[in-house]
Amino acid sequence: TLVVKEDDVQPMNPPKFDMIEDMAMLTHLNEASVLHNLKRRYTKWMIYTYSGLFCVTINPYKWLPVYTAPVVAAYKGKRRSEVPPHIYAIADNAYNDMLRNRENQSMLIT
């Protein structure tokens, strides 16, 4: 029998949050919830997940058809909320903000 102290247990999110596209929407935002969500999405080859303003990417270490011309076209001119998480959504939004507001944009990729 494994005994765990109550202070060491983190709350679980309701099932409606399973594989959520933006982890900022999680009821319980903790390490276990983030890792669980990323793992569940990754098992379906959903390598992009938002966390508020950030786009989290898990390297699949294999080629996936997520960088093709039709994918680029699907993200062009769309709001982030209109399409699944993808680096193209971040890039297109930054580009359009630059054109609209005439202000420099920057991205941090680590």
Per-residue pLDDT of the chain (110 residues), as tens digits, is 999 999 999 999 999 999 999 999 999 999 999 999 999 999 999 999 999 999 999 999 999 999 999 999 999 999 999 999 999 999 999 999 999 999 999 988 88
Does some domain include residue 5? no
* Residue range(s) defining the domain that contains residue 68: 15-101
Does some domain include residue 106? no
Q: Are 94 and 76 in contact (CB under 8 A)?
A: no
* Structural domain count, the chain: 1
Does some domain include residue 9? no
Q: Are 82 and 63 in contact (CB under 8 A)?
A: no
**Amino acid identity for residue 14 in this structure:** P
DSSP E strands in 1-110: the ranges are 48-51, 54-57
Residue carrying structure tokens 């319980």: 28
